[in-house]
A and B are shown apart, each in its own frame.
Chain A
Amino acid sequence: MNMATSTPVPTGLGESRTSKASDRIKMQARDVKVYYGDNEALHGVDVDIFENEVVAFIGPSGCGKSTFLRCLNRMNDTIPGCRVEGDVTLEGQDIYAPSLDVVLLRAQVGIVFQKPNPFPKTIYENIAYGPRLHGLARRRAELDDIVEGSLRKAGLWDEVKDRLDQPGTGLSGGQQQRLCIARTIAVQPEVILMDEPCSALDPIATAKIEQLIDELSESYTIIMVTHNMQQAARVADRTAFFHMGDLVEVDSTDKIFTNPGDQRTHDYITGRFG
């Protein structure tokens, strides 16, 4: 059950890690199946996620990549009729164990959604919400530091430092998305899940987010779903290709895009379908 530090990794990806990523396994999925009612949406996914790497999930719509992403911090719990089988571990700990506190899990594994969803509160309150929830700051000054630090890391501080008391919903789409990333960082997660974080943004805002992802990968493990293959090629250390509920292959991004091991991957990246 607990195979967090076991080697060799069945997916055999040790040699394709980049220098930035460590060889510690952060999250591990074994035979993960997801059902929506009677419909099996994922047919058994095995994957290892290493510490401080950026992994991109690509694949045609409805292939299960977002579903799988949401399994990693149990966001699927909120969907009625959704059931998860198999093992998902974080630092060797089963995240579907009955004893696990989902609130703490989500503090460790944060998520950024497709559409920016700032709360209808001020910019400051948007960031401060998570730290308050988890009691991360004892004094106002500490909270101020967390807010400033998170906004700086998200590259938004200079743009909003003079209007922290204004509603977060008044920012532009790209700024809102960086606000949501800052909000996630503020809880000090170890892993950040991103569900198509740029699909609602224009190219310039997208470029900023991509740069941000690159910077964040110094200190966080980032798993992102994207429809944009160039984006995966630009930011990801490794890329996983999903197709019809199966994880077809996962390998270094270079290898996936230049010499994929599976015909379906080849067809997809060359635009044969999807």
Chain B
Amino acid sequence: MNNLALIAILLIVMALAYQVGLTRSRTVATDGVRLHSRPGYYGMLVALWCGLPAFALLLLWSLAGTSLVELLVVRQLPPEIATLGERELSTFLRRVSALAADRAVSGTPSETELAAAAHMASLQTLGRMITIAAMAVAAVAGLVLARGRISPQLRARNQVERVITIALALCSGVAILTTVGIVLSMVGEAMNFFRFISPAEFFFGTTWNPRFSTSGDTGQGEFGLLPLLWGTLMVSAIALLVAVPLGLMTAIYMAEYAPAWLRNVAKPVIEVLAGIPTIVYGFFALIVIGPFLSDLGDLVGISIRTTSALTAGLVMGIMIIPFVSSLSDDIITQVPKALRDGALGLGATKSETIRQVVLPAALPGIVGAFLLAASRAIGETMIVVLAAGNNPVLHANPFEAVSTITVTIVNQLTGDMDFASPQSLVAFALGLTLFVITLGLNVIALVVVRRYRQQYE
């Protein structure tokens, strides 16, 4: 019986328990006694008491069962295998569990392996039986206990509500724990990297030359962050120079001037820009914008490379226009009509009202929108991989190729890699740096936006 079937059975039992609770509470309530809660809550309470402990047992077995079985198997092994090194032992165990699950293994399994596999299989079956039995006992016991507790004084509603609160908190906990986990693993690997390269060298180095060992170089390579950080900032700055004015003007037009029919058509169309996959933007930049800029440069006598900070920045700017425009639009629309009326009532024209009253009132929110767009630009990868030229050199010319943090992470982690070398580990240090930058921007943006919200509520 697999877990899915067990859970299905458990749900059916819970439905029955709900009925039991419902019936019981109605019986209790017959002779003019008023129940504390509606009967449905007693039903739910009984169902929860019946289902939750059983489910917890199943979860426990699924999480801890495998290790427990392995532990028991290892104890039974002949001494010559039990004393093997950690690595050999784990290979051995992997083969044994494959055999126990009737999966094929390479080569002919040895006598010991077969014996251990049989042992493991029997232990697994036993453990499973015990779990199922325990679940059955827990379900029945929970049901009976909870049914027995039903009385007019029992505050079933409050208890059910508390369980719901806890369940919701656990769900949000998943997202938070994931974030914490990602950060911790990045910090851990970044620490490994800093055993090879000192943080000072990494954060303040001006040369990026990781020297892959496959290229025959034996030296350690130079891992200076600054050229990459500079490239990231340059491309993002160009993107914001494009997106902020265009996005803001779009937002003002959409929120204040556009007739309703135009807004209904144009807003979704603009937001489609945000839905285009960034890889598509990337080759659009590479095939259309890059050559166009290059030709344009020839026309006025400036040498512009096809793949350059300018190409990538321009296209990225177009990509983030909808972020700026739709967030700013929402914020401008939120400025109360009373403020506009106040300015208009004093004899301000429409554009005076917008410039002097609406925009200042919306400014914190708009700044928040810019910061969110900026963190989006800094973390963007595909466009720069294709269009920025991958040239990790410190220079100030936007017409030349650059490389960014994200592009370098892609480079360091594609192909054959060895997670013990600084060449791969540097990706984690870069990722962490990127994470800290975007996190910082997001935090500032959220604080700014929140302060704005408080003003009108």
Q: Could you tell me which A residues sit within 8 Å of B by CB distance?
A: 73, 75, 78, 80, 103-107, 110-111, 113, 115, 117-121, 129-130, 133-134, 169, 180, 183-184, 187
CA A169 – CA B357 in complex, angstroms? 14
Q: Which of B134-142, B302-310, B343-351, B400-408 contacts A (4 or more CB under 8 A)?
A: B343-351
CA A173 – CA B348 in complex, angstroms? 24
B347 touching A119 by the CB < 8 A rule?
no
Within B145-176, which residues are at the interface with A (CB < 8 Å)? none
Q: Which of B6-14, B178-186, B224-232, B332-340 contacts A (4 or more CB under 8 A)?
A: B332-340
CA A111 – CA B346 in complex, angstroms? 7
B356 at interface, CB cutoff 8 A: yes
- Using Cβ atoms and an 8 Å threshold, which residues of chain A touch B338? 113, 115, 117
Within the complex, the shortest CB–CB distance from B341 to chain A, in Å, comes to 6
B361 at interface, CB cutoff 8 A: yes
Q: Could you tell me which B residues sit within 8 Å of A by CB distance?
A: 260, 336, 338-349, 352, 356-357, 360-361, 455
A129 touching B346 by the CB < 8 A rule?
yes
- Using Cβ atoms and an 8 Å threshold, which residues of chain B touch A80? 260
A133 touching B346 by the CB < 8 A rule?
yes
List 14 extra interface pairs beyond A103-B348, A117-B338, A129-B343, CB under 8 A: A80-B260, A103-B349, A106-B347, A110-B345, A117-B341, A117-B342, A118-B342, A119-B343, A120-B361, A121-B360, A130-B347, A134-B347, A169-B455, A184-B345
Q: Which of B341, B348, B357, B361 contacts A75 (CB 8 A)?
A: B341
B344 touching A119 by the CB < 8 A rule?
no
B346 touching A184 by the CB < 8 A rule?
yes
CA A103 – CA B338 in complex, angstroms? 18
A78 touching B341 by the CB < 8 A rule?
yes
Q: Which residue of A is nearest B341, CB measured?
A: A113
A75 touching B343 by the CB < 8 A rule?
no
**Among all A-B residue pairs, the 10 with the closest Cβ atoms:** A117-B338, A106-B347, A111-B345, A107-B347, A130-B346, A117-B342, A103-B347, A120-B361, A133-B348, A119-B357
A119 touching B345 by the CB < 8 A rule?
no
Q: Which of B341, B346, B357, B360 contacts A187 (CB 8 A)?
A: B346
CA A110 – CA B356 in complex, angstroms? 19
B342 touching A113 by the CB < 8 A rule?
yes
CA A133 – CA B260 in complex, angstroms? 29
Q: Which residue of B is nearest A107, CB measured?
A: B347
A75 touching B345 by the CB < 8 A rule?
yes
CA A113 – CA B343 in complex, angstroms? 11
Within the complex, the shortest CB–CB distance from B332 to chain A, in Å, comes to 14
A119 touching B341 by the CB < 8 A rule?
no
> 30 pairs across A/B with beta carbons < 8 Å?
A75-B341, A75-B344, A78-B340, A80-B260, A103-B347, A103-B348, A103-B349, A104-B347, A105-B347, A106-B346, A110-B346, A113-B341, A113-B345, A115-B338, A117-B336, A117-B338, A117-B341, A118-B342, A119-B339, A119-B360, A120-B360, A121-B360, A129-B348, A130-B346, A133-B352, A169-B455, A183-B346, A184-B345, A187-B346, A187-B347
Within the complex, the shortest CB–CB distance from A220 to chain B, in Å, comes to 15
CA A113 – CA B346 in complex, angstroms? 12
Q: By CB atoms of chain A within 10 A, which of B260, B346, B352, B455 has the most?
A: B346
- Using Cβ atoms and an 8 Å threshold, which residues of chain B touch A113? 338, 341-342, 345
CA A169 – CA B339 in complex, angstroms? 12
- Using Cβ atoms and an 8 Å threshold, which residues of chain A touch B336? 117
Q: Which residue of A is nearest B455, CB measured?
A: A120
CA A169 – CA B338 in complex, angstroms? 13
CA A184 – CA B338 in complex, angstroms? 14
CA A183 – CA B344 in complex, angstroms? 12
A106 touching B360 by the CB < 8 A rule?
no
- Using Cβ atoms and an 8 Å threshold, which residues of chain B touch A119? 339, 342-343, 357, 360-361
Assuming the A-B contacts A119-B357, A121-B360, A169-B455, are A107 and B346 also in contact, with contact meaning beta carbons closer than 8 angstroms in the complex?
yes
CA A118 – CA B456 in complex, angstroms? 12
Q: Which residue of B is nearest A133, CB measured?
A: B348
Within the complex, the shortest CB–CB distance from A222 to chain B, in Å, comes to 15
CA A115 – CA B343 in complex, angstroms? 14
CA A233 – CA B455 in complex, angstroms? 37
Within the complex, the shortest CB–CB distance from A194 to chain B, in Å, comes to 11
CA A236 – CA B394 in complex, angstroms? 76
